[in-house]
Amino acid sequence: GMILESNVGIGIVGKEGKQASLAGDFSINQFSFLKRLILWHGRLSYKRSALLSQFVIHRGLIISVMQAVFSLVFYYVSIPIYNGYLMLGYATVYTSMPVFSIVLDKDTGVQQALDYPPLYKTLQKGRSLSLKTFLIWVWKSIFQGGFIMFC
């Protein structure tokens, strides 16, 4: 029914048993927990997902820009600038600290998020994940990749 029609299903454990909670994406024991789920966990999840997705594209674009500059400088040679093991290390080990930083970051405390619901409203405007922020990340990638290759 309702849970299947929405974007996110929140099941509440109640007298009817656990049918609703098993069918939902999230399960809570009391209706009063909904405020914390949306205002704290939802807000944090959205901010982290937006930043992480843009960072992953950013780190891939840096390598792509470096490879493009390398190919341009050396007359379009089709030799990779780094071997496979370095690329694997870059994607997993070398850039793991920023990923952990993004995933574990909290910009505000639980109580502040619950006391000031307008903090959640700013996310509804889409400023964390917009074309403007995406283009800013692309510009950073082009600049950083070019800077690394020329310096």
If pLDDT is split at 50, 70 and 90, which confidence band does 51 have? very high
pLDDT tens per residue, range 68-123: 999 999 988 888 888 989 999 998 999 999 999 999 999 888 899 889 888 877 78
Spans of all domains in the chain? 34-150
Question: Which among 125, 120, 96, 124 is positioned nearest to 107, based on CA atoms?
Answer: 120
> Whole-model pTM?
0.80
Cβ pair 138, 60 in contact under 8 A: no
Averaged pLDDT, 33-59: 90
Cβ pair 63, 145 in contact under 8 A: yes
